[in-house]
Structure 1
Amino acid sequence: MGAMERPAFSSDARKRLYEYVERNGTVKRHKLLDVVSLPSEEFREHLEGLKSDGYLQEEDGTLEIALEFGAVTEYETDDCTFLVRPGRQADFDGLIDTIRDVTAAETYVVAETIAEELLYEDAVTRHNSVKSRMFFVATVDGDVVGWTHLDLPQIEHAQGTAQQTIGVREAYRGNGIGTKLLARGVEWAEANGFRKVYNSVPITNERALEFLTVHGWDTEAIRRDHYEIDGECVDEVMMAYKL
């Protein structure tokens, strides 16, 4: 299945199988058989069909949705070696910790909201008929130290624009990790037919605004008094990058 292809199924049984896995992030094969109430042979037939069509993938008896987001890339600096790769369900705890680390030091309301969505839905990647959500992560020695997130609406009139967030733990800044993550998300959006990505940041987050500006993003709009931070009304700056 292509990353932005809307799910389409040849039977209601395959749709039910996919939707259960999509909602839950990962599901053990034996548990999926229990919840969908299909005869064993029919279950195997539909599951193998979903896997061969690229909708689901399985590893050691655990199923998750399969989306092709690109390869793993290694970068080396004087201070560290890091990987940038597609996020997966196994990154869940590391993503939450990293987002909270970033938002504890700097106000980044959209990223805070994404962390809450992750916790509520208990799934890193989403892909259904309404919306998709994906992550690329940066890791050092297997630990998540940064992320970029793309929120990808599936509604026809909004499909050309993606919302992007990005963050790197304070201890790992200065190694170019944020630049590589930002570029990875933008490159993926462009390759998948998007015409624009945007990032909404409180005007008080000067570091984020400077970072985006240096990398070619423009201020597209300002929403006055959009946030209330520490008892004061704060503007939201909507930054955009046209592809």
Structure 2
Amino acid sequence: MAMHTDDDPTSSFDDVQRAVYEFVDRHGTATRAELLRSVRVDAGPAHSKPARSGNYTQQTALEPSTLESCLETLLAEGYLTESEGTLRVSVPGSPTELETESGAVTIRTAREPDREGILEAMRTVAQDGSYVVAADLATRLERAPALVRVNGTEDGSQSRMCFAAVLDSNTESETTADAGSGADSDSDSDTDSTPETDPTSADKPDDTRIVGWLHLDVPALDSRSHTAELTVGVVPAHRRAGIGRTLLEHGLEWAREAGYRKVVQGVPSSSETAISFLEANGWEREGVRADHYRLDDEFVDEVLFATWPTDS
């Protein structure tokens, strides 16, 4: 299934444009060489057919001139973007920059090179065990072929959107760690240690200096295609700086523009910081699933939250 928009962005494509666009979307990024090597398009009816089969169409690789003509159109019309030879599906929205005590932080759409840093940030947030949804999401994204998937396909693959909070590589991180979980908190903390797995350490490549994320999953079921499931988190050393709130604004603005009616999130009842954060940002409690988690040999309820971005 595709992202829930009124118009299918591929409806006006010819066969070559659709094949190229879907390949880039499915893999997250692609180069011209990868497209020439991997994309196949119909070449007309085959001259022969295997036994016990119906009519079938022969497929062939793209000619370089055909690919260039296709990319010229997709780039000019804004369906794809290109940076240093790497093609990506265009995603609406402009980056936002925040000045924090740690330095400049940019909130932007996540890119494939961000994957390792985002996974580490999720696992860092999940370390104390209270925000287990972050650990589960990290496991799923580690296996996903693309970090951002704008248009899922009918084979059951899910669409997903991901935003990253990236610390400027030229700034030093000298902040006080917050021992809570989830996103920003207004409460004070007396913990002054940054986890050893903090992905903002100086030996990380610039693109993996991730201090927070927001992820939106789109269910593969048509009956729930109006709903997106959100998770958001900020690593402890960079909380209380507005990063979580700005990530949330980006995610909900994207959901609103994409036409989603409802955004949901479930958090353990033990995650008081995450619950306070969502309630402070206008989310409503919809219910509780009793004993949904087992944490440290104790059963913990899940609190279900929702917001309606099209109403705001």
**TM-score clears 0.5:** yes
Deviation at 1:27, TM superposition (A): 1.7
Change in Cα spacing, 1:138 to 1:162, as seen in structure 2 (3 Å) is same
Q: Distance in 2 between matches of 1:110 and 1:6?
A: 31
Q: What is the RMSD computed on CA atoms of the aligned residues? A: 2.4
Match status 1:12 vs 2:15: yes
Does 1:50 pair with 2:74? yes
Instruction: Return the match for 1:152 from 215, 218, 233.
Output: 218
Counting only pairs closer than 5 Å after superposition, residues 37-76 of structure 1 correspond to structure 2 as 37-68=61-92, 70-76=93-99
- SS of equivalent residue, structure 1 residue 233: strand
Read off the aligned partner of 2:123 and give its amino acid letter.
R
1:165 aligns with 2:227: no
Q: What is aligned with 1:235?
A: 301
Q: CA deviation at 1:99?
A: 0.9
Show structure 2 runs of 5+ residues with no match.
40-60, 170-208
Query: Is the CA contact 2:4–2:226 (under 8 Å) kept in the aligned structure 1?
Result: no
Q: Tell me what 1:22 maps to.
A: 25
User: 1:154 Cα shift?
Assistant: 7.0
Q: Helix, strand or coil for the counterpart of 1:185?
A: helix
Deviation, structure 1 residue 113: 2.8
Structure possessing the higher relative contact order (Cα contacts under 8 Å, 6 or more residues apart): 2
Q: Sort the Cα spacing of 1:47 and 1:210 in 2 relative to 1 into closer, same or farther, 3 A.
A: same
Q: Distance in 2 between matches of 1:29 and 1:43?
A: 8
> Unaligned stretches of 5+ in structure 1?
none
Question: What's the counterpart of residue 193 of structure 1?
Answer: 259
State the distance in 2 between where 1:96 and 1:42 align: 38
Instruction: Give the conservation status (yes or no) of the 8 Å contact 2:160–2:216.
Output: yes
AA of the residue aligned to 1:217: W
How far apart in 1 are the matches of 2:27 and 2:136? 19
- Name the count of aligned residue pairs: 241
Q: How far apart are 1:178 and its partner, in Å?
A: 1.3
More helix by share: 1
Q: Partner residue of 1:205? A: 271
The correspondence for 2:245, drawn from 146, 162, 179, is 179
Tell me the alpha carbon deviations over residues 76-113 of structure 1, each in whole angstroms, 9 at most, x when there is no partner: 24553322222222211211111111111343333223
State the match for 1:137 in structure 2.
164
Which of 121, 140, 145 is the aligned partner of 1:98? 121
Separation in structure 2 between the aligned mates of residue 33 and residue 112 of structure 1, nearest angstrom? 37
Question: How many angstroms apart in 1 are the aligned matches of 2:70 and 2:103?
Answer: 45
| CA spacing shift, 1:26–1:120, aligned 2, 3 Å | same
| Partner Cα distance (1:172, 1:14) in 2 | 42
8 Å contact 1:7–1:129 — kept in the other structure?
no
Percent identity of paired positions between Structure 1 and Structure 2: 40
Flag the 1:11–1:240 CA change in 2: closer, same or farther, 3 A: same
Could you tell me which amino acid in structure 2 is paired with residue 14 of structure 1? Q
Aligned to 1:224: 290
Paired residues of 2:4 and 2:225 also in contact (CA < 8 A): no
Q: Which structure shows the higher strand fraction?
A: 1
Q: Does the 8 Å contact 1:6/1:128 carry over to 2? A: no
Which of these residues, 107, 110, 113, is aligned with residue 130 of structure 2?
107
Is 1:3–1:67's contact at 8 Å kept on the other side of the alignment?
Answer: no
Contact kept in structure 2, 1:150 and 1:185, CA below 8 Å: yes
Aligned equivalents of 1:47, 1:114: Cα separation in 2 = 33
Partner of 1:118: 141
Flag the 1:129–1:119 CA change in 2: closer, same or farther, 3 A. closer
Q: Over alpha carbons, which structure has the higher Rg?
A: 2
SS across alignment from 1:54: coil
